[in-house]
Structure 1
Amino acid sequence: MADIKRLFDFPYHEHDKYKLDDALVTKYGDKWVKTSTAEYISKANAFSRGLLRLGVQKGDKIAVISSANRTEWNIIDIGILQTGAQNVPVYPTISDEDTEYILNHSESTYCFVSDQGLYDKVSALKSNIPMLKEIYSFDTIPGCKNWTEVLELGADDSNLEEVDRIKASITEDDLATVIYTSGTTGRPKGVMLSHKNIVSDVLMSADRVPFEAGKNKALSFLPVCHIYERMILYLYQYYGVSIYFAESIEKVSDNIKEVQPHVITAVPRLLEKVYDKIIAKGSDLEGIKKKLFFWAVEVGLEYEPYGKNGAWYGFKLWLARKLIFSKWKAGLGGNLGLMVSGSAAIQPRLARVFAAAEIPVMEGYGLTETSPVIAVNDERNGGFRIGTVGRPLKGVEVKIAEDGEILCKGPNVMMGYLKDEEKTNEVIKDGYFHTGDIGVIDSDGFLKITDRKKEMFKTSGGKYIAPQLIENAMKQSRFIEQIMVIGDGEKMPAAFIQPDFEFVKQWASRKGLSLSDNKQVADSKEVKERIQQEVDEINKKFGNYEQIKKFEITPDIWSVDGGEMTPTLKLKRKAVKEKYQELYDRIYKS
C-alpha cells in the first residue's frame, strides 16, 4: 500500500509516479485548459502560503461552494488541507437558510464561490454570519475578491518552511473536512472525516478498480462537494488518471464526445437518461435496422457475467456487440470502459445491458459517514454480481443486525458529527456504525440493499412495507420516471407516480392523442390506464399486501429545485407527501 497518510499526499504521489501534463483540465469558453501535476502542486503551495498570510490557522474552517467541478476547487482543497485548516464543501443548490446555517455552524472564516449567482447568494447572507471575514470567487466578478489574490499573496515563498512545518505536524487522525449531509428531514449534520477516513477508503477501493495506471482519462461531473465524487478524484490522482471536468450536467453528453474518457462516475438517474436516449434513437430506426437494434437490446437484457449463459448466448452477444453495441460505445466517446455508480440502486436491466455493451457499471454502496465506500462490485476478480453492491472492501467489516440493519466497522468510519455528540452516539454503538439501511449478505459474501430502515412502514393491517423494493421494480417501466410508495398506517399501499413525460408524450402521439403539457399527461385517462397496466404487471412480483392498489399521477417533474429530491437525488418523502396532500386524500379518503 502506498505511503500516503494525508489527503494532500495524493498530488505528490501522482507527481512522483506519473508527472501528468493534464492532471486537471477545465474548459474555459471553447478551450480545454490543462494543469500539470507540477503546476497543481505549485499553485496549492502558493495558496497555502497565501492563506497563512491571511491569518488562517490550523483548525480553521474554509467553505467552498462551486456550481460545477473545476481545477480551482482541487487546488484550493489541497491548499487548505496543507495549512491544517478544514475544507467545508457546500452544495450550491441548497436553500439560503441551510447555507447560512452551515456557514455559521462550521464557523467558516472564508468562503470561496465559483460564480456571480453564488457570490450574490452568500453576500446577501454575510451580515448574518459573524465569523465570515471575506468571500472570494473563481470567476472575475466586479466588487468581489478573486481567488487569484490569495495565490498572489503566496507568490513569495519566504514562508515555505512554515507550510512544510505545518504539513509535517498534520497526522492521519486529524480532521480533514466537514461535509454536511443533505438529509431528507431536519437540519444538515456536519460529518467530520479525518485524513485517515478518506485515505483508507481510497486505498481500499483502489484494489477494485481496473485502471491501467498513468494511461486513462476521466470525465468528472457529479458534485465534488459530495464525498462520493471527491473520494473518486483522490483515487484518480492515486492512479495517475487525467481528470477532465465537464462544463455542466447538461453538457455531459457533448463533453464525453470531446474528451473520450475511459471512466466516469454516475448516478442511476443519469444512466437511465443515457439508456432512454439510446432506446429513443433505436425507435426512430426502420426496417431491419430497427429489428436488429431491439434484438440486441433483448440479448443485452439477458446478460450474466462470466459466460454463465453458455456458448450459444456468447455467440449472440458477440454478434450484438459487433453490429449494435459498438455504436453505443462510439456514441459515448469510444473509450468508455467503466462506469462507477452510487447514491441509489441501479436497475438490474441497466446493469445487464451496459455490461453486455462492454461498458460495465460497477455499483457500489456507502454513506458520507463512511467516506463513502463500504462495498463495490469488481468485474476483474469474480466480484461482479448484478443486483448487488458487491462485496465489502477488504478492511471494512460488515454485519447484519437482527432487525436487518447493515452495520459496519473500519478505518473509513467518520470521527462523528460536528458539535453533536448525541446524534453521533445514536449511530455509532459498540464500535459499529449503524447505516440505517436494511440489507442481506448472500452465501458468496455479496451485499444487497433492500430498503432504508426509517422508510419502512406498517399498514393498518400490521404488514411491513419496504417501499424502495417496490419503487425500484416499478421504475423499470419506461412509463414511470419517479414513484413514491405511501400508506403508513393506511389500509393498503398506494403511490404517487411522476411519469417519464417525454416518453409518454411520444407514446401518446403514436396513439393519436394530443398531450402538449405535463398537466394534460397527468390528467389523461388514457395515460392512467396505460400506467395501470404497467403497475398491474409489476405487482405480480409482490405479495398481495405489498401490491400498489391505487396511484395518482403528479403533474410536476420531481427535482432538487422543486424540493422533492435531495442534492444526491434521494426522495424527500415528507416534502413529497405534503406537496401532494390533495392527491393523498383522493386515494385514501375518497
Structure 2
Amino acid sequence: MSDTQSLIEDRPPSVAHVFLERVTATPDAEAYRYPVPATTPGGSETWGSYTWREAGERVSAIAAGLMKLGIQPEERVALASSTRVDWILCDFGVLCSGAATTTVYPSTNTDETAYILSDSESRVLIAEDAAQLAKVREKRDELPRLAHVVVMEQADAVARSEDPEGWVLSLDELIRRGNAHLEEQPESVRDSVGTLRSDQLATLIYTSGTTGKPKGVRLPHECWSYMARAIAQTGLVNGEDVQYLWLPLAHVFGKVLTAGQVEVGHVTAVDGRVDKIIDNLPVVRPTYMAAVPRIFEKVYNGVAAKAKAGGAAKYKIFQWAAGVAREYGKVTQDNYRRTGVASAPAGLKAKHAVADRLVYAQLREAFGGRLRACVSGSAALAPDIGFFFSGAGIHILEGYGLTESSAASFVNPGEAYRTGTVGKPLPGTEVRIADDGEVLLRGPGIMQGYHGLPEKTAEVLESDGWFHTGDIGELSSDGYLRITDRKKDLIKTSGGKYIAPAEVEGQFKAVCPYVSNILVHGADRNFCTALIALDEPSLTQWASEHESLKDKPYEAVVASDEVRELIDGYVEQLNSGLQRWQRIKKFRILPRDLDIEHGELTPSLKVKRPVVEREFKHLIDEMYEGSRAA
C-alpha cells in the first residue's frame, strides 16, 4: 500500500474531526476573511478575519445551540443563504452537533424551498435574512416538522404574532444559548463529534437538475473526510495559500472546497457577491480560486470587447496576442507531456514576451497578481479559452465530479495539466469506461443514494459500488479523462451522424466575444441549428459605437439586422472548422440572456435544455419549417 493510499484509508470518520484537529493544530493562524460593511455613509468596506481558534469557538457555540434546541443525530438542519463566512461556520456547527445539513440555494423559489424542507424533513432552517424567512412563513402549514428558523441577520430575525412561540430566533441568540450550554457541559460538542460514524448522514444536497423535481443526494461523513484528505494529497494547495471563495456553498463544488481547506489549513476569503469578484481580486490577491467556465468566458469576452472598443489597432493587437497565447499554451503543455519541461521554440518565446508586456501582464494583475492556478468545474470549459488563459499565465486546472460523487472526482495535476481534459482521478477513486462510453466511478466519495428514492438510486448505483455518471468520456493511456458530452445530450441526426453539442457550443464561445449561451439542436433532423443568447454588457458596448443602434434599448439592438449580420459572421467562422454534419445551418438570436429567474439556468449556471427548448420552441420550429425530419 502506498503512503498516499494509506493516508486516504486511515482518515478520521468525519470532516468535523478534521475541523477540530485543525483548530487544535494551528489555533492562532488565520482561517477566514470576510467583508465588513462600511460603518458610515459613503465609507469603504473593509475585511474582517477569524483565526482557527475564533472559528472553532463560533462553530462549537452553534453546535451546542442546536443541541440545546433538541436536534438529534442525523436530523436535518437546512441552510438557505448566499456564500458568506457564517454559512461555513453554521455548516460545521451542524456537523459537530451530529445533525446533517440540507442545502438550499437562496435563489430557490418559495414552492421549491418548501419541497426541499418537507422532503428532507428538516427540523431547523438557518436562513440568511428576511427574504428567506418569508418563504417558510408563507408555507408554514406545509412544514409541520420545522421547529425553528434561525436568522443570520440580527435585524431580520423578527418574530410575528402569528409565529409559534420560539419559532424564530437570531443566529446571535442561538450562539448565546450554545455558549450557556457549553458552560454547563464544556465537553458536549467534542463528545458529539467523538460519536460520529463514517456512514452517518452528513449532507443532503438537492440536485438543481436540468429536468424534473430535485433529488436529495445523501452524502455521509466519510465522503467529506475522504475529500479533505484526497484534495490535500494532490499537492495542489498548501498551508501558505489564500483561496478566494465565491461559489454557491449550496452547490457541492463550493462545499467541497471547505473540506479541503480545513485539512490543509490555509486562509479562505469568503464573499459570494458575483458582482464584487472584479473588485475583490486585487484586494484579496488569491493564490488560487475555483470558478465555473462561465466566469472565464465572461472575463475573456470582456477583455476582447474592451480591446475592440479601443479601436481597430488595439483589437488587432489583442487578436494577435490571443493567438500567440493559444499557441504557447498548446506547445508548452505538449512539450511538458513529452519531456517534463514546459518549453517553447525561441521564436514563439520572443512573440510571447512581447504579448506578455502588451496584454497578459495586465490580465494577471486584474486577478490580483499572485494567482498560481484556477480550478474550473461544473461544466466543460471551451479548450480555446483554456489555452488562451494557459498562454497568458493563468493556469486553469479543469476538474470533474457530480453532486453524487462529492464534487471532486478528477482534477488536473498542477504543472502537468492538460487543457481539454479533466485530469486524473483523486487518490482512492476508481474509474472505468462502459461499453457505450459512459464514465463509471467508485470510491469513498460516492453517495449512499437518493433520499427516499430507492428505485432512482438503483438506476445509477450498482450493488458493487459503481456509479453511472451519465457522462460520455475517454481515458488516455496515462489516465487523463476527457468528457465529450452528457449521454442524454448526444444528438443523432436523421442522417445517422452523432454530434456532441457541447463540443460545437464550446468552439463558438471561443470565436464569438458576444455570446453568453448557445444551444445546438439537430436530433432526428437533417441539419443543425442553434439558439444563441448574447452577453448584454458586451453587446451594449458594441452597439454604442454604431450610430444606427446608439441609445436604442437592448431588445431593439438584439433584434436588429446589424446584430444578426455580426453573429452570422461568427457562425460562418465556426462552421469553417466543423465537419459538414456539425455545421450550423440556421440560428436565432434570443431576445434576452438565459437566467436562473426564468428557470433556464441552474444556480451553478448549467443550461436546462428542456426548459429553454420549451420556452423558445417557436424559434426552433421556425428554423426547421419545411425541412424533413426523421
TM-score relative to the length of structure 1: 0.94
Task: Sort the Cα spacing of 1:427 and 1:260 in 2 relative to 1 into closer, same or farther, 3 A.
Answer: same
Question: Among residues 544, 554, 575, which one is paired with 1:518 in the alignment?
Answer: 554
Residues 86-108 of structure 1: CA deviation (Å, up to 9, x unaligned): 01111111222211111000000
The 5 A counterparts of 1:412-427 are: 412-427=445-460
Cross-structure match for 1:62 = 77
1:365–1:374 Cα contact (<8 Å) kept: yes
Question: Among residues 380, 387, 408, which one is paired with 2:420 in the alignment?
Answer: 387
Question: Among residues 20, 25, 37, which one is paired with 2:33 in the alignment?
Answer: 25
Q: Aligned partners of 1:53, 1:194: CA distance in 2, in Å? A: 24
Which SS does the other structure have where 2:186 is aligned? helix
Q: Per-residue deviation at 1:294? A: 4.7
- Mean alpha-carbon deviation: is it higher for 514-523 or for 104-113? 514-523
The 5 A counterparts of 1:128-167 are: 128-140=142-154, 141=156, 142-143=158-159, 144-156=168-180, 157=182, 158-167=184-193
Cross-structure match for 1:6 = 14
Q: Aligned partners of 2:135, 2:20: CA distance in 1, in Å? A: 35
Cross-structure match for 1:202 = 228
1:493–1:550 Cα contact (<8 Å) kept: yes
Residues 502-530 of structure 1: CA deviation (Å, up to 9, x unaligned): 33344444454316233223322232233
Q: Counterpart amino acid of 2:592?
A: D
1:49–1:160 Cα contact (<8 Å) kept: no
Cross-structure match for 1:301 = 326
2:383–2:506 Cα contact (<8 Å) kept: no
Q: Aligned partners of 2:564, 2:406: CA distance in 1, in Å? A: 42
Q: Aligned partners of 1:126, 1:63: CA distance in 2, in Å? A: 15
Question: Among residues 511, 527, 534, which one is paired with 1:492 in the alignment?
Answer: 527
- Mean alpha-carbon deviation: is it higher for 190-199 or for 487-496? 487-496
2:15–2:228 Cα contact (<8 Å) kept: no
- Mean alpha-carbon deviation: is it higher for 145-154 or for 512-521? 512-521
Is 1:411 matched up with 2:425? Answer: no
Which SS does the other structure have where 1:234 is aligned? helix
Task: Sort the Cα spacing of 1:395 and 1:466 in 2 relative to 1 into closer, same or farther, 3 A.
Answer: same
1:342–1:364 Cα contact (<8 Å) kept: yes
- Mean alpha-carbon deviation: is it higher for 537-546 or for 394-403? 537-546
Which SS does the other structure have where 2:123 is aligned? strand
Q: Per-residue deviation at 1:79? A: 1.4
Over the matched positions of the two proteins, sequence identity in percent amounts to 35
Which SS does the other structure have where 1:358 is aligned? coil
Q: Counterpart amino acid of 1:146?
A: S
Cross-structure match for 1:539 = 575
Q: Aligned partners of 1:529, 1:359: CA distance in 2, in Å? A: 33
- Mean alpha-carbon deviation: is it higher for 281-290 or for 351-360? 281-290
Which SS does the other structure have where 1:19 is aligned? coil
Q: Counterpart amino acid of 2:515?
A: I
Which SS does the other structure have where 2:571 is aligned? helix
Q: Per-residue deviation at 1:290? A: 6.5
1:50–1:150 Cα contact (<8 Å) kept: yes
Is 1:473 matched up with 2:520? Answer: no
2:301–2:514 Cα contact (<8 Å) kept: no
RMSD value over aligned CA atoms?
2.1
Task: Sort the Cα spacing of 1:289 and 1:13 in 2 relative to 1 into closer, same or farther, 3 A.
Answer: farther
Q: Per-residue deviation at 1:370? A: 0.5
Task: Sort the Cα spacing of 1:20 and 1:71 in 2 relative to 1 into closer, same or farther, 3 A.
Answer: farther
Question: Among residues 373, 396, 399, which one is paired with 1:361 in the alignment?
Answer: 396
Which SS does the other structure have where 2:584 is aligned? coil
Which SS does the other structure have where 2:97 is aligned? coil
Which SS does the other structure have where 2:389 is aligned? helix
Residues 344-365 of structure 1: CA deviation (Å, up to 9, x unaligned): 1112222222222322111101
Q: Aligned partners of 1:589, 1:358: CA distance in 2, in Å? A: 47
Q: Counterpart amino acid of 2:596?
A: V
Aligned length: 586
Q: Per-residue deviation at 1:308? A: 5.0
Cross-structure match for 2:41 = none
Cross-structure match for 2:56 = 41
Cross-structure match for 2:246 = 221
Which SS does the other structure have where 1:264 is aligned? strand
Residues 212-270 of structure 1: CA deviation (Å, up to 9, x unaligned): 42x22211111011111111122122222211112511111111122222111111111
Q: Aligned partners of 1:12, 1:318: CA distance in 2, in Å? A: 47
Task: Sort the Cα spacing of 1:518 and 1:256 in 2 relative to 1 into closer, same or farther, 3 A.
Answer: same
Residues 391-442 of structure 1: CA deviation (Å, up to 9, x unaligned): 2223211111111111111111111111111111100124310000111112
Is 1:566 matched up with 2:613? Answer: no
Cross-structure match for 2:100 = 86
1:485–1:493 Cα contact (<8 Å) kept: yes
- Mean alpha-carbon deviation: is it higher for 5-14 or for 267-276? 5-14
Cross-structure match for 1:450 = 484
Q: Counterpart amino acid of 1:347?
A: A
Q: Aligned partners of 1:540, 1:308: CA distance in 2, in Å? A: 31
1:123–1:135 Cα contact (<8 Å) kept: no
1:501–1:521 Cα contact (<8 Å) kept: no
Unmatched tracts of structure 1, length 5 or more:
none
TM-score relative to the length of structure 2: 0.88
Cross-structure match for 2:206 = 180
